[in-house]
Amino acid sequence: MVGYGDPAGVDYHSTFCHNTLSFSQRNQSGGTGVFDTAITNFLTTSGDHCPGKQGGIDWVIADATAVYPEATKFLRHLIFIRPDVVILFDDVATKQPELMDFNFTCLGPIVEHDNAFISTTKRNRLVILPQSPQQLTHRFSPWGTHWPDIPSHRLIYSTSQPERECSVLTILAPSALLCGITRCPNVIEQGYVRSTDNYTW
């Protein structure tokens, strides 16, 4: 974990370095005020105790509209398909057309592979697979920490032009680098997502 005493600590208060939505990399509303945000719904089929049942689903819907002055709606659905797939579904609407950025900060370098992005560390790999009816562009942006043992790598995918509405589904599939060959088996083999590529490395 990177401490707030790091020389780049000021950045850690900025929206862009969190795994969330921003508009043209602008910050959310800040300060000490109370914002009307909430978890609006919750569903679980995984049981009452960790680690939960294999194949169980935990589904949370959060409304964060109030922290974005540009937005009329920002709902984030977070769906955890146990044991190792997370799906984000972001539903966004704005008062006027905006460039919408979906930010991800990873510990390992990020490369593009077909329609997916892959972040790899010494022990783990994360597949990030975004899908949207709107056209998205992407860029990579290193930033932040001056601690040599804690690099930071950013993936930002954005609407290609200002939009008033956008929906983005993102699959996050982690795997351990213990057996030499890794892939995202639950996404492909259990049929949660149709794919033309098994994403095998």
Question: pLDDT tens per residue, the chain (201 residues)?
Answer: 455 566 666 666 777 777 889 999 888 887 667 788 889 999 999 988 877 888 899 999 999 999 999 999 999 999 999 999 999 999 999 999 999 999 998 888 999 998 899 999 889 999 999 999 999 999 998 765 656 666 678 999 999 999 999 999 999 999 998 744 444 444 444 443 433 333 333
Q: What is the CATH number of the domain that holds 118?
A: 2.70.98.70
Domain that holds residue 48: 37-189
Note whether residue 13 is domain-resident: no
- Residue 6 in domain: no
Residue 96 forms part of a structural domain: yes
Handedness of CA 112, 115, 119, 124 (dihedral sign): negative
> In total, how many domains does the chain have?
1
Query: Residue 113 falls within a domain, yes or no?
Result: yes
The span from the first CA to the last CA of the chain, in angstroms, equals: 28
Please indicate, yes or no, if residue 18 is contained in any of the structural domains: no
Asked whether residue 10 is assigned to any structural domain, the reply reads: no
The per-residue DSSP string of 107-173 comes to SS-EEEETTEEEEE-SSEEEEEEEE-SS-EEEEEEE-----TT---EEEEEEESS-EEEEEEEEEEE
